[in-house]
Amino acid sequence: MPASPVVLSVPHAGRDYSPALRAALRVDPGLLIALEDRHADTLALAARGIETLFVATRPRAWIDLNRAEQERDPIIDEGAMRLPESAQSLKLRSGLGLVPRRVETSDLWRRRFSDAEIGDRIALDHRPYHAALAAALAAARARFGVAVLLDIHSMPPLGPNAARLVLGDRFGRASAGRFVSRIEGVAQAARIRCAVNSPYAGGHILERHAAPAAAIHAIQLEFDRSLYLDRRREEPGPGLEPTAALLRAIIDAVADEALPLAAAAQ
């Protein structure tokens, strides 16, 4: 039984680079760090209290849980449908589909993958993650009358005087505005510059699981990696503790906003 209406998800921090993945690479495995939300799982674990938390251990290079099953890239995937470019998502066109094709300016793979290989990744990794997330949100809504998903990501620095925390709610389609407003208030109190839906509005996880009309809300959180990583942005740095405290304050504010709704539903 869930102890909180808030559910946490960290889909892009996986660092389990299997021998099969490494054998298929045409680039140095170190380049794959650029695809990671580096140590976003460490941040979430440091902030987590009683909330249900899902952390993907498979790396994004293996399969991207924030893409739809249909976003398969025909350049590297023999089972992908060949769609006209106009029918492809921007992410797919740029090489960041269900299985990423590129990192920065480098092509990742030595060969194309068979339909069966990608099908196994979908069946063993993608679908179970989403099924578990859906079940947790349904359980939270059943107990509290409302559920709020916080989907935790990280981003490279956006530039001087730019936002260091970006909230995505798919332009109001994924969450009631009161939850976003509470998070903005927490960021303001912490003197962290915050933006909403620019440049990240949320991806497939929000699109798939958010249903505000059914009392399931979802918000994507993008933390500037320089907030909590070291100067090389590879390992946790001295900013981890205050950034975890910021995330904890966000979780508490969202739960506080949700609980009066939960009481009214009982």
pLDDT at position 266 is 47
- Show pLDDT as tens, one digit a residue, over the chain (266 residues): 899 999 999 999 999 999 999 999 999 999 999 999 999 999 999 999 999 999 999 999 999 999 999 999 999 999 998 877 776 788 888 899 999 999 988 999 999 999 999 999 999 999 999 999 999 999 999 999 999 999 999 999 999 999 999 999 999 999 999 999 999 999 999 999 999 999 999 999 999 999 999 999 999 999 999 999 999 999 999 999 999 999 999 999 999 999 986 555 54
Report the C-alpha gap between 8 and 152 in whole angstroms: 7
Report the C-alpha gap between 88 and 71 in whole angstroms: 8
Is residue 108 one of the residues assigned to a domain? no
Is residue 43 one of the residues assigned to a domain? yes
Is residue 176 one of the residues assigned to a domain? yes
pLDDT at position 84 is 74
Is residue 11 one of the residues assigned to a domain? yes
Is residue 152 one of the residues assigned to a domain? yes
What CATH number should be reported for the domain holding residue 53?
3.40.630.40
Is residue 162 one of the residues assigned to a domain? yes
pLDDT at position 263 is 54
Instruction: Tell me how long the chain is.
Output: 266
Is residue 101 one of the residues assigned to a domain? no
Q: How many domains does the chain have?
A: 1
Q: Which residue range is the domain that position 193 belongs to?
A: 6-68+125-265
